[in-house]
Structure 1
Amino acid sequence: MTKVDLKKSISAYTAPRGAFEIMDVPPMRYVMIDGHGDPNTSEEYGSAVGAVFTVAYKLKFLSKVELGQDYVVMPLEGLWWSEDMTTFTTARDKSRWSWTMMSLVPEWIEMSHFERAREAAAAKAASPALEQLRMAELSEGTCVQTLHVGSYDDEAPVLDEMHRRFIPDAGLRMRGLHHEIYLADPRRTSAERLRTILRQPVEPA
């Protein structure tokens, strides 16, 4: 059985380092959960991420056993927003962030598969986070993105340049939510070697 790695087949999962690119991102479906607060200190955040991957791995197992299609579980991703977007850049304040944490699922995974995987996870461990999970489509369209290598706290100047220089200079304006794709596991990777795709949906100014 061939194991599919969607990171290698979907162009939106690659980005240039040290430069910004404009690209069209196709609609994709994710296991998602919403929350608010500093990801470094919030118990809610840890529970949310745990729930996402618990169900993501149960979906992988279901797909392999019942559908005959194996795949690599996709990395953690996050949509981030705040009433004041400078809390991500010049006035950085993680306590004011809201987020949706998520992981991409293959197109052959159906809602019934997701519901069964979530029920199986809940049967083993009761968790409010599992009850809050959903599977939904995200349609971002035209986006600007770049690959950031380094700690998450070093993203601020990159985002500031993207928001205040590159996007306006390209005749665009921001819309939608700031999107991050975590290509490296911070539990196993030193901060200076973390790889994160930073993405911002845009539209003509």
Structure 2
Amino acid sequence: MTVKTDLKKELGLYAPRRGRFEVVTVPPLRYLMVDGHGDPNTSDEYRDAIQTIFPLAYALKFLSKRSLDRDYTVMPFEALWWADDMAAFTSARDKSQWRWTALNLVPDWITDAHVEEATATVRSKGGAPRLDELRVETLDEGLSVQTLHVGSYDDEAPVLAELHDVFIPDAGLTMTGRHHEIYLSDARRAAPEKLRTILRQPVSRVD
């Protein structure tokens, strides 16, 4: 019988409470990654990154089930976000200045050889426009603060302001890594006011 793993439950990092900031420790995790910049609503780069990551994510799932007898649920889309001037992201919301890395988490038993095999399968079918730019890399965020935001992406600014300017300094922490978002809802199907997004910020303790 094929074993099926729910990585969200196994990691225990995908169910924060709305309106509450939680300090967590995120272990090193392996992701499919594609970099880009610009407004995600209008950027061909962003659309092409999504259209590349998910075919490979599902090819890896099917390869794992077929070859390793280990099935798992493909994880939600995630992204790291930043800008040369972070105000362009948090308060000014100048999306043309945004930089990002599109992410999809893969299980730790997926090797580079598995990725190469799945990539060849996806390439043979076409339709993954940024496959040559995709890489697999470990992201080690460690100590982080996260919360669940329910609502449109453009309504995140007040939550981020409270996180960055109030909670983190009051907790004796300082920001270290890049802003991380985990999209629990499918924006193509859910109403903007019902979108569920985990907002995560890596931090370190102030000495």
- TM interval, shorter chain, is over 0.9
Amino acid at match of 2:19: G
Residue 190 to residue 126, structure 1, CA distance change in 2 (3 Å): closer
Q: In the TM superposition, what is the alpha-carbon distance from 1:84 to its structure 2 partner?
A: 1.0
- Residue 26 of structure 1 is matched in structure 2 by 27
4+ long deviations beyond 4 Å: none
Deviations 1:159-199 (A, max 9, x none): 01101111111111111110000011111111111110000
SS of corresponding position for 2:107: coil
Structure 2 unmatched runs, 5+: none
Structure 1 unmatched runs, 5+: none
Amino acid at match of 2:180: H
SS of corresponding position for 2:52: helix
Deviations 1:109-145 (A, max 9, x none): 0011011111211122165401111111100000010
CA distance in 1, matches of 2:99, 2:120: 27
- Residue 144 of structure 1 is matched in structure 2 by 145
**Where do 1:13-162 residues align within 5 Å?**
13-125=14-126, 127-162=128-163
Q: Please report the RMSD computed on the Cα atoms of aligned residues, expressed in angstroms.
A: 1.0
SS of corresponding position for 1:15: coil
Amino acid at match of 2:51: G
CA distance in 2, matches of 1:147, 1:128: 32
Q: In the TM superposition, what is the alpha-carbon distance from 1:91 to its structure 2 partner?
A: 1.3
* TM-score with structure 1 setting the length: 0.97
- Residue 176 of structure 2 is matched in structure 1 by 175
SS of corresponding position for 2:13: helix
Identity of aligned residues (%): 59
CA distance in 1, matches of 2:128, 2:33: 15
Amino acid at match of 2:171: A
CA distance in 2, matches of 1:126, 1:54: 9
CA distance in 2, matches of 1:138, 1:72: 20
Moved more, 120-129 or 155-164: 120-129
SS of corresponding position for 2:156: helix
Q: In the TM superposition, what is the alpha-carbon distance from 1:19 to its structure 2 partner?
A: 1.0
8 A contact 2:52–2:127 mirrored in 1:
no
SS of corresponding position for 1:13: coil
Q: In the TM superposition, what is the alpha-carbon distance from 1:4 to its structure 2 partner?
A: 1.3
Amino acid at match of 1:31: L
**Where do 1:161-200 residues align within 5 Å?**
161-200=162-201
Q: In the TM superposition, what is the alpha-carbon distance from 1:48 to its structure 2 partner?
A: 0.5
Q: In the TM superposition, what is the alpha-carbon distance from 1:2 to its structure 2 partner?
A: 3.4
Amino acid at match of 1:177: R
